[in-house]
Amino acid sequence: MALTITCPICGKRNGYEFRFGGEEKGPRPDEKDLTPEKWCDYVHMNKCVAGVQEEWWFHKDGCGSWFKIHRDTTTNLEKEVKDENKVQKAKSGGQK
Amino acid sequence: MMNRFNHLPTLKVDTTQKLAFIYKGEKYYGVKGDTVASALFANGVRIFGRSLKYHRPRGLYSLDGECSNTCMEVDGVPNVRCENTLLEDGMVIKEQNVKGSAEKDYLGFLDKMDWMMPAGFYYNVMHKPAKVWPIAMKQIRKAAGLGKISPDYEMPGKFDEIFLNTDVCVIGGGPSGMTAALCAAQKGLRVVLMESRPWLGGFFEYRSREYQDGQTLNERARHLAKEVEAQDNIRVFTHTSAVGTYNNNLVTGFQIGKKENVFDERYIEIRAKSVVAAAGCIERPLIFDHNERPGVMQIGCALRMAKTYGQMPGKKAVFSIGHDLGLEAALELHDLGLAIACIADIREDGQDSDLVRKIEDKKIPLLKGWVATKAHGAKIVKKVSISSLDGQVSKTFPCDLIVASAGMTPVTGHITVAQGTLKYDNHTGFFLPDMMPEKMHAAGRILGLNDPLSIEASGTLAGLQAAFDCENCSIQEIGEAKKALENLPGPVRGSKLVTAPVKGRKSFICFDEDATIKNIKQAIDKGFDMPELIKRFTATGLGPGQGGIPGHNLPLYVAKYQALPDISIRPTNVRPPLVPTLISTYAGVNHKMFKITPMDEMQKKDGGVFRNIGVWQRARYFSNDVTCQNEIENVRKNVGMLDGSTLGKFRIHGPDALKALQRVFVSDMTKVKQGRVKYSAMCNDDGCVIDDGVVVKQGENDYYFTTSSGRAGQTVEWIRYHTRYDGWDFALVNLTDSLGVINLSGPNARKVLEKIVDIELSNEAFGYSEYKEFKIADAIPTRAMRLGFVGELSYELHVPSSYMKAVWLMLREAGKEFNIQNFGVEAQNVLRMEKCHIILGQESEQRTNLLDVGLGFLWDRNKADAKTVGAIALRQAENDQTRLKLVGFKMENNTRAPRDGALVVDDKVRGYIATARDSFSLNEAVGMALVEGELSKIGTRLEIYEDECGDDRIYGTVVKMPFYDPEGTRMKM
């Protein structure tokens, strides 16, 4: 497998070690006022981006964590995307 | 057997060591270092096999396995590439694709039937009238195909795989590859060097021309090879072809094992930080009439037969070449004693003057602007016609060897497969690298270079560029290396001629698929104007040679025939594997891995019959009786022991452990009370039930739960996935392998257990559905649950794996007086089926939801805040009348039970049988089935269809569940 994935805990590793967990779609929606259509969209509909997409991976043969990466689906290469929120989160996490 | 040269410094054979082999049932001898092909040639074999379509005789051509000409059956393995396979003592070699023999093939007449087989004939000939095709097809199928293999053939040999990480991977062990490797290694980097021939040296290795200061190219190659081998941080793989290159600098290949290796072929996958592509050139075939008659060879083939294998490739030769290597080879072979009638050089001018002068000195006739037009001879070359390029003047020479080559062509597959691009270069006539893939660098003849010093300088540059990718080299150094390369001779002008002035009916552009120039014209005339389309329509380049023969000529010819400008000349795509690779090499080693339980040895001693079930090996039966009557009856009447260690076992603890349980389990997990066992299930987001098990509370925020055996591997992933946004604080520990489980079941279970534990076991003290922790013999920490999966009084004991054997022996000793016996997975299956306790995957399939299998009572619908996985879908499915329902049934009139998976039908399929058995406890055949809602009412007659039953049906009736002990008194006693 040509793909490599950078696990936040274990670093850059061979794609064989990971399991794909789908596109990033945000947290589970609230059950209140949720229509079946909206729910179905959340579970089953994908954007299938031809380009950079944010997605989940599981380090099954490693640390066992779920994490997100950005990957260019046309080249299968990871992309570094500066995520300001991520930095913020890390900061606030540090203060806790 | 012919005499061999044994004084040449370039020889790779040891003529003193003879190796015997069998060819067509007779014993022959080769020498150590021979390939199968060179050994056969030494024994006078010229026709190695017959071609795919026309059964034309075929022989040595390239010596590097670029066509199927020399594919043979070796030791029972078909399609062995004999030019690349070293001879071993005792090999049995057979020719293939022949009716009769290669020498006299009864299907040879097909060569005259080519008018019946134009390009794409299987698409558009023999289809009218339609009746003809089935008959024609049978004959074509019989005649077509290379090599024979039977459907139950098992590939012999040992296969292995390795996965390497390195800084720099160099593809090609020629001068530029070796220079690049040395350069990167001297920068302190780790280097992997792959060379497809069994030795390093490449383009220099077999040549005796001067390199510099009196040193020959061969000596230079040896010197470089020595340096490479002395460098500790270069790992050299010879006889190793790189067959795939991918992004992220992944290179795959396979290595052919030597005798001392533990493998015959080994798959190699290399992850590098940078890649150097230095695969050099192969020769571009010259196309003329009968250009593949045995006796026609490329320059490298003729030269290397002499220099590497010590054999004269023929007695009298005519050369028709388009490259200086041809002149060099003519001189060398002439000096070794080959009579050369004439050299026809495609090029009118531009030859190396030094070589031309030497040829004149030796009085070898050299005709510039001439080319071979036809090889004569019914089976092997007898004479050759050559003509001026315009076809106006011609001559004929008797000869047995035609050395023919139109020029060179770079081996660029490693670049294009990794998504690099090529561009046609008018000066060289080559497809040269245009856009290189990220962190891949080309070196050597791939760049069109021909001068030895330039080739090495390009290797140095590529080595430095690779070092730069590894942050071990400065821009300045690269700049200097670039300048050094620019000061050396650049690419030489190449010939662009594809075909001699011939009509092309018997001029082959692709040997593997028997495609001629005429076929290409037919395809273009039919409207297939692009090389990529023509390739498919005529199958040109689709054979085992992977386009090695026609890859360059096809686009050149297509452009020429259509009078297209240079700019539109594009190569066809190549794909991995770039070199034919055995499927068994990709498959690698079969490790036959499975897990065994702590009781494996004990159960085997007790006569357990084991089966692989999921990742585990489990005892299915304990006798030859597959109905397990004895095992079942003993559990119902006395007491039995089952090894349940394969159950998934987990501990979840931490402040948010309960929240996580609430998310994945359908029940309200706040109701899990200490000391009680809670049975529940997990669904997926579609409400389909994926797992069931029990949960107990061990302490505050501390739970222990089980999953089904099959789900144990995914449970951590599943729970973590569905809580990934929440940032909850809990720890999840997989205890599946560290704990073993014994299921002690039967009316006497209490009496047995009492003898080995100290705690009170009465129904009041330890009742049904209760949980206790205690120590056996003051030492063995035990979790005990009172469950009733098999429908009897039952204790499930979870103990550390290391203690399993001890507890097992204690129970067996204690149970002797009650006739305790093992029972296996099948007995358990029947016992629980009689109780209508479901096993997921047996009573359910992928689409079955929680409600379908009657587990709706587990679902707590009042915990919306928990966002329970599957709850929304269950709510939607609740009123869906079209879903299948799980029902119990018994067979009518005492007929036997249907097979699992049999269909419930009327005029269409209405459901299927999940599990059904002839029950000894009930004395009738009962089972469970998933059927459409309207068939689920008690008393409904089920019509059951089994495979191959024809019009016969068997019938069952829907009855109330469970079948055995409906009040459940036995498991609660």
* Minimum distance, in Å, between the CA of residue A82 and any CA atom of chain B: 20
- Average pLDDT for B110-131: 79
The reply to whether B871 touches chain A by the CB within 8 Å rule is yes
Q: How is residue B839 written in tokens?
A: 């096993």
Percent of chain B exceeding pLDDT 90 equals 87
Name the closest residue on chain B to residue A39, using Cα atoms. Answer: B872
- B335-352 residue pLDDT tens: 999 999 999 999 999 999
Residue B595 buriedness (CB in 10 A; 0-12 / 13-18 / 19+): middle
Name the closest residue on chain B to residue A75, using Cα atoms. Answer: B247
Nearest 5°: the CA angle B112, B105, B52 is: 65
Please give the pLDDT value at position B285: 96
Regarding predicted confidence, which is higher, B140 or B684? B684
- Average pLDDT for B798-816: 97
Using the predicted structure, report yes or no on whether residue B330 has a pLDDT greater than 70.
yes
| ipTM reported for the complex, 2 dp | 0.89
Which residues of chain A make contact with B872, given a CB cutoff of 8 A? 31, 34, 36, 39
Least confident of B149-158, B233-242, B690-699, B878-887: B149-158
Chain A residues bordering chain B (beta-carbon distance below 8 Å): 1-4, 14, 19, 21, 26-28, 30-32, 34, 36, 39, 43, 56, 58, 60, 64-66, 75-77
Which residues of chain B make contact with A66, given a CB cutoff of 8 A? 717, 720-721, 724
Please give the pLDDT value at position B248: 87
Place of tokens 């000349």: B569
Which of 654-693 (B) contact A at CB < 8 A? 685-686
What is the C-alpha separation between B11 and B205, in angstroms, rounded?
10
What is the C-alpha separation between B62 and B38, in angstroms, rounded?
12
List CB contacts of B618: < 8 A, sequence separation 6 or more.
B597, B610, B611, B643, B646, B824, B825
Please give the pLDDT value at position A82: 66
Which residues of chain A make contact with B247, given a CB cutoff of 8 A? 2, 75-77
- The verdict on a CB contact (< 8 Å) between B685 and A43 is yes
Backbone torsions φ then ψ of B662, nearest 5 degrees: -60, -35
Q: Which of A9, A58, A89 to mutate to test the interface with B (most CBs of B within 10 A)?
A: A58
- The verdict on a CB contact (< 8 Å) between A27 and B725 is yes
**pLDDT tens digits for chain A (96 residues)?**
689 999 999 999 999 999 999 999 999 998 888 888 999 999 999 999 999 999 999 999 999 999 999 999 988 899 987 655 554 444 443 333
Q: Which of B271, B724, B861 to mutate to test the interface with A (most CBs of A within 10 A)?
A: B724
Name the closest residue on chain B to residue A5, using Cα atoms. Answer: B248
Using the predicted structure, report yes or no on whether residue B139 has a pLDDT greater than 90.
no
User: pTM of this prediction?
Assistant: 0.87
- The verdict on a CB contact (< 8 Å) between B867 and A30 is yes
Q: Taking the CA atoms of B505, B506, B509 and B515 in sequence, report the sign of the dihedral they define.
A: positive
- B640-683 residue pLDDT tens: 999 999 999 999 999 999 999 999 999 999 999 999 999 999 99
- Concatenated DSSP letters of B675-735: TB-EEEEEE-TTSBEEEEEEEEEEETTEEEEEE-GGGGGGHHHHHHHHTTTTT---EEEE-
Please give the pLDDT value at position A83: 57
Number of domains in chain A: 1
Q: How is residue B785 written in tokens?
A: 């649950």
- B580-605 residue pLDDT tens: 999 999 988 877 789 999 999 999 99
Q: How many angstroms from the chain centroid is the CA of residue B853? A: 40
- The verdict on a CB contact (< 8 Å) between B717 and A19 is yes
Look at residues B306, B251, B275 and name the one whose alpha carbon lies nearest to residue B63. B306
* Minimum distance, in Å, between the CA of residue A42 and any CA atom of chain B: 10
Q: How is residue B539 written in tokens?
A: 């199958």
What count of CB pairs under 8 Å joins A to B? Answer: 51
Look at residues B71, B40, B87 and name the one whose alpha carbon lies nearest to residue B545. B71
Using the predicted structure, report yes or no on whether residue B934 has a pLDDT greater than 60.
yes
What is the C-alpha separation between B465 and B274, in angstroms, rounded?
9
Please give the pLDDT value at position A84: 52
Regarding predicted confidence, which is higher, B6 or B682? B682
Which residues of chain B make contact with A4, given a CB cutoff of 8 A? 248, 271
Q: How confident is the model at residue B2 (pLDDT cuts 50, 70, 90)?
A: low
Antiparallel, parallel or unpaired: β B401-404 and B316-321:
parallel
- Average pLDDT for B222-250: 96
Distances (CA, A) of A27 to B667, B682, B724, B854, B874: 22, 19, 8, 31, 20
Please give the pLDDT value at position B112: 84
Among A43, A60, A77, beta carbon nearest to B717: A60
CATH of residue A37's domain is 3.30.2270.10
What range does the domain containing A57 cover? Answer: 4-95
Domains, chain B, ranges and CATH? 14-116 (3.10.20.440), 159-282+410-486 (3.50.50.60), 288-405 (3.50.50.60), 508-570 (1.10.10), 595-645+738-832 (3.30.1360.120), 648-734 (3.30.70.1400), 881-973 (2.40.30.110)
Q: Across chain B, what does the average pLDDT equal?
A: 94
Q: How is residue B201 written in tokens?
A: 């040296």
B924, β-bridge pairs: B919
Among A2, A31, A75, beta carbon nearest to B250: A2
- B746-767 residue pLDDT tens: 999 999 999 999 999 999 999 9
Name the closest residue on chain A to residue B684, using Cα atoms. Answer: A43
* Minimum distance, in Å, between the CA of residue B351 and any CA atom of chain A: 45
Q: Which of A6, A31, A86 to mutate to test the interface with B (most CBs of B within 10 A)?
A: A31
Q: How is residue B905 written in tokens?
A: 């039908």
Q: How confident is the model at residue B6 (pLDDT cuts 50, 70, 90)?
A: confident
